[in-house]
Structure 1
Amino acid sequence: MELEELGIREECGVFGCIASGTWPTQLDVPHVITLGLVGLQHRGQESAGIVTSDGDAVPTYRMHKGMGLVNHVFSEENLKKLNMSNLGIGHTRYSTSGNSALENCQPFVVETLHGRIAVAHNGELVNAARLKRKLMRHGIGLSTSSDSELITQLLAFTPPLEEDHTPDWIARIRNLMNETPTSYSLLVMHNDVIYAVRDPYGNRPLCIGRLISVKL
């Protein structure tokens, strides 16, 4: 019997991993994330995804996503393709908005003015319609029906007061938190850093190693 049939469904799980010590690491980052997602499987059985990075100055991102349980999505073969990595984030999905389709699987990866970011999000935006209109007024198109893509695009959007050559990701994340008054948890990976974000009502610390915790 699937966990969802038992009534256990808690709206997505997110998991991040950063290797300690000298890079390149010998730690099998994709397998660590997979084990973490298995531990979070009760939070979503619809789909799963992992994005890894080598954390270089111009990082290489590797991604695999699919529909179904974690052990169905990830085989030894596609986990090998995610290897040669020093950090990564993963996601298990239980949809509260957006269709149950491959296009809505997370994490999302987008190109920004300052390089790629990967985002894994748990939660539901109560003001998704307003945020969608705001982005579209600025000429930003959306490719999925997931409100989590709105978060990704809001983070990629350059604030008016930010200089082109000096991105302030923490300021962007705090701005996002002001725009999204709801309960959520969020992982944002950029270059060699993972930003861990929780809504203002959370009370558990999220700062581990090179992982940076952000709160209002």
Structure 2
Amino acid sequence: MLTTNPFDDDKLREECGIFGVSGMDGAAAAVALGLHALQHRGQEAAGITSFDGRQFHIHRAMGHVAGNFDRDDVIRGLHGDTACGHVRYSTTGETSLRNVQPLYAELASGGFAIAHNGNISNAMRLRRDLIRRGAIFQSTSDTEVIIHLVATSQFRTLIDRFIDALKQVEGAYSLIVMTPEGMIACRDPLGIRPLVMGKLDDTIVFASETVALDVVGADYVRDVEPGELVIVKGGEISSHKPFAPVGARPCIFEYVYFSRPDSISDNRSVYSVRKAIGAQLAIEAPVEADLVVPVPDSGVPAAIGYAQQSGIPFELGIIRSHYVGRTFIQPGDQIRHLGVKLKHNANRELIKGKRVVLIDDSIVRGTTSLKIVQMMREAGAAEVHMRIASPPTRHSCFYGVDTPERAKLLAAKLDVGGMTDFIHADSLAFISIDGLYKALGEAHRADIHPKYCDACFTGEYPTTLTDQDENGPPTDQFALLHERVG
């Protein structure tokens, strides 16, 4: 089998998306709509859990939201005015229904459903300790560790047990939790993964991105703050901040690639930031050319910014088909090669004889860029210059993003000259780390305390990495024991 979007095979894949609704008749239907808007954050599986005041109702399935949650019988079975959902892309470990979220357990206090975006970077150590104490795990997900920590906590109230559990984990998490007492939404103290709150009449909505609020007609209220727990009980909302305050470090790659361009993140338009990144890239890495061509779809806003700043015309030199399935049978090498063009094809008459600037969001393994440059050459481009709207990705992410081990990252093995030769481009340039911060409205990246998590570029991780330090790079055995599912 071959993914018919071969370029996406070389992308960093965002972990997951979460969505929750409290206080709406037929809440599950609204959650299904919200998950549609978050589908880009996880295409492997989806799940919704609802609560009707007496009983929890659960439906989880492999595949997209469409086809699983657009059926009347499924939505009708998810009773209640409170519901939460999850779209999933696992970053390591097995793909199976038992790992699809929201995860659910019966605790002493009643039902407990949890949807998680991020990665617990000490989950392996915690899991081993819990198993020694008698815990029986039903999944390979790091999220299940939180359930067991809540269940075994010695604190009296559920919220205190939940806080006790969170104080034992490290890494990145945005969570939506459903209990008989109400809904809880929270972010880790550094705010690495996003989470926003909205309102529709008397209904409270939580989502990974503002676009999911838009699709259900909810107004954006604010971001859930780093280290904050927002508790919704009936119509009452309370905020708790049980952690010692630290400087926030939200993921900078949300602006580069992960978030939808029509989202608002930390009061910034993602689309406008990406255009500003492109403009800054044009200032830092100008080139004489005839056309600026985005690699669809993620390179489009940055390419517009680059074209506007440089004065070089913007053109759709690569056309993407949106009507091809995800996979197809590969009977031989010749057909496999032809399959590369099922989703992307060069606009040949536009490209022929032109000096082309290709704009993409990142280079991971380099195989994507190699294919794109080759496509431009075969279409008759006179020159092919590659410009990347992020700094070189030299380090793996341990906060819920599917990143190859460092040895497989092209920028970890080669300098820019070597990378240029590898992809067979006439030139290659990346935006600088200071340029990326400048596009976000910051003067530069402060060495003492940068305002974002940029570890994939700099190697400066904002938290300890217990599992990584103790176990080293992932192996097959590691993957079976511990699945980072975001």
Given the alignment of the two structures, is residue 17 of structure 1 paired with residue 13 of structure 2, yes or no? Answer: no
Residue 133 and residue 16 in structure 1: after superposition, are their counterparts in 2 closer, same or farther (change >3 A)? same
Asked whether 1:119 is paired with 2:114, we answer yes
In 2, the alpha carbon distance for the partners of 1:96 and 1:169 equals 30
How big is each residue's C-alpha offset from its partner over 1:44-83, in whole Å with a ceiling of 9 and x where there is no partner?
001000000012xxx2111000000011221221111113
Aligned residue in 2 for 1:95: 90
1:54 maps to amino acid: D
Give CA deviations for 1:150-183 in whole Å, capped at 9, x if unaligned.
1122122232xx3xxxx42222222222211211
Deviation at 1:88, TM superposition (A): 1.0
Name the residue aligned to 2:36: 38
TM-score for the superposition, normalised by structure 1: 0.84
From 158, 176, 196, the counterpart of 1:169: 158
Cα-Cα RMSD: 2.2
Q: Which residue of 1 aligns with 2:123?
A: 128
Greater relative contact order (Cα < 8 A, sep 6+): 1
Deviation at 1:97, TM superposition (A): 3.6
Partner of 2:182: 193
Does the Cα contact within 8 Å between 1:193 and 1:210 map onto a contact in 2? Answer: no
Q: 1:22 maps to what in 2?
A: none
Query: Do residues 78 (structure 1) and 74 (structure 2) align?
Result: yes
Structure 1 CA distance for aligned equivalents of residues 123 and 132 of structure 2:
14
Amino acid at match of 1:95: S
Alpha-carbon deviation of 1:211? 5.6
Q: Distance in 2 between matches of 1:46 and 1:107?
A: 14
Letter in 2 for 1:133: R
1:46–1:67 Cα contact (<8 Å) kept? yes
Unaligned runs of 5+ in 1: 20-24
Q: Indicate the SS of the match to 1:187.
A: strand
What SS class does the counterpart of residue 73 from structure 1 fall into?
A: coil
SS at match of 1:72: coil
Distance 1:158 1:178, change over 3 A: closer
Q: Contact 1:98–1:104 at 8 Å: present in 2 too?
A: no
TM-score by length of 2: 0.39
> What CA distance in whole angstroms lies between the structure 2 residues aligned with 1:80 and 1:148?
28
3-state SS of 1:71 partner: coil
Give the 3 Å change call, closer, same or farther, for CA 78–137 of structure 1 in structure 2.
Answer: same
SS state at 2:66 partner: helix
Relative to 1, partners in 2 of residues 1:178 and 1:91: Cα closer, same or farther, differing over 3 Å?
same
User: How much does 1:6 deviate?
Assistant: 7.8
Q: Is the 8 A contact 2:146 2:166 kept in 1?
A: no
Instruction: Note closer, same or farther for the CA distance 1:100–1:212 as it changes in structure 2 (3 Å cut).
Output: farther
What does residue range 36-75 of structure 1 map to in structure 2 within 5 Å?
36-55=34-53, 59-74=54-69, 75=71
State the number of aligned residues: 200
Post-superposition offset of 1:146: 1.0
Distance change (3 Å), C-alpha of 1:61 and 1:40: same
